[in-house]
Amino acid sequence: MSTARWIDSDAELAEVVAELVTVERYAIDTEFHRERTYYPALALVQLAWEVPGGQEVVLVDPLGVDVHQFVDLFQSDAEAVFHAAQQDLDVLTSAVGAIPTRIFDTQIAAGFVGYGTPSLVSLVQGELGETVAKGDRLTDWLRRPLSDAQREYAAADVVYLLELERRLLAQLAELDRVEWAIEACEELRRRPTGAGEPLDAWTRLKDVKGLRPRSRAVAQAVAAWRERTAASRNVPVRQVLPDLAILGIAQRRPTSDKELSQARGVDDRFNRGKIAAQLLEAVAAGNAADPPDPLPSADDLERDLRPAVTLVSAWVSQVAKQARVDTAMLATRADLIAFLSGDPDARLRHGWRAELAGEGIDRLVSGRSALTFDRGAGLKLVDL
């Protein structure tokens, strides 16, 4: 493994960025903590790129440098190679205020050549025959100095990525799926990152689908209050108010401290004083607001289409298996419902998903094709 160079001054980072903006591609990973904060705390940035005779690997200490220097790199034409990039993109959005303009995610690419959301360890083992030490999952990456073992473990997250990209691109080319992978990586890159809109926070609550319209509006208002409060204090949302309390308040819709204290999940920390007043204010705002639309479910479909969800889901799973594509990447249940409900923006109506499964689903539900079962081949789509 290449020896990683420690970068903890702005001058050193400026030199690294100046070199990286000239390369075709570089590997990147991050270490961070978010257990005790609302915003993720960036603790380390690992980078690797090819140089004559091998690789250069650096570990950038965000506690010692101005990470906004990465903006110049991210706005360049250099491709950033990640593994499982979603959280890294969230963290970089929060810490740097920017993400790379071009990315390649080896986990996504692997999903098109027969892997099912592989870890970096399993992908390196499967493609390169190397065994990567798993290290300590609970390492405190914000503590300084990092030990040699911690630095080696962190560097391992990037040293294999560029070779993995080469191997995966070769396999994708053989399968004529390079564009599929590029499209999926761009889809991930464009996905909203960061904290999100407070008024959408209610959609992440468990068991929220069962709420009536007016209770939904209250849940939206209270969850938004919790989100803004957590952000202002930079603490996890669960420390401000538990999910159960939001659902209990939404169902009861209290108008007084006494009624608030009777809501499920609300203990003495929340039913009196300033917090109680803010919660009751949020409840009042929710009562006065238009209820948000319910979350999509199979019940939203026309009654005669509801059985199609289960049938189509079984066929899509088989298509994914036969095509050696990760089923979860091809279509989630929400994707199927969006498609069957006629949503023009449904992911199955566009790009590689339409090519692989969307067009077949369309023929099936329109009556132009049917499914038969072959004991040897499973479900088969046949034209009528």
Q: Give the tens place of pLDDT for each residue, 105-155.
A: 999 999 999 999 999 999 999 999 999 876 666 789 999 999 999 999 999
Residues 6+ apart with CB under 8 A from 99: 74, 89, 92, 93, 189, 193
- Which pLDDT score, from 0 to 100, does residue 294 have? 85
Residue with tokens 């870890």: 119
- Which pLDDT score, from 0 to 100, does residue 299 have? 60
Structure tokens at 218: 């209250």
- Which pLDDT score, from 0 to 100, does residue 209 have? 84
Structure tokens at 48: 């690797």
Q: For residues 369 and 329, what is the distance between their CA atoms, to the nearest angstrom? A: 24
Q: For residues 325 and 317, what is the distance between their CA atoms, to the nearest angstrom? A: 9
**Distances from the Cα of 317 to the Cα of 94, 265, 272, 284, 378, angstroms:** 36, 39, 51, 46, 11
Q: For residues 312 and 292, what is the distance between their CA atoms, to the nearest angstrom? A: 29
Neighbours of 184 (CB within 10 A): 21
Q: For residues 140 and 130, what is the distance between their CA atoms, to the nearest angstrom? A: 26
Q: For residues 271 and 267, what is the distance between their CA atoms, to the nearest angstrom? A: 7
The tens-digit pLDDT sequence of the chain (384 residues) is: 558 999 999 999 999 999 999 999 999 999 999 889 999 999 999 999 999 999 999 999 999 999 999 999 999 999 999 999 999 999 999 999 999 999 999 999 999 999 999 999 999 999 999 998 766 667 899 999 999 999 999 999 999 999 999 999 999 999 999 999 999 999 999 998 777 899 999 999 988 888 999 999 999 999 999 999 999 999 999 999 999 999 999 999 999 999 999 999 998 887 778 999 999 999 999 999 999 988 876 666 777 788 888 889 999 999 999 999 999 999 998 899 999 989 999 999 999 999 999 999 999 988 899 888 888 778 888 888
Structure tokens at 212: 């009536």
Total-model pTM: 0.89
Nearest to 82 by CA among 171, 148, 6, 181: 181
- Which pLDDT score, from 0 to 100, does residue 137 have? 66
- Which pLDDT score, from 0 to 100, does residue 136 have? 65
Helices (H), the chain: 10-20, 70-74, 86-95, 106-110, 120-128, 148-159, 161-174, 178-190, 213-233, 237-240, 243-252, 257-261, 273-288, 306-323, 327-330, 333-340, 351-353, 359-365
What is the phi/psi pair of residue 236, to 5°? -60, 145
Answer yes or no: are the C-beta atoms of 71 and 45 closer than 8 Å.
no
Structure tokens at 75: 């706005």
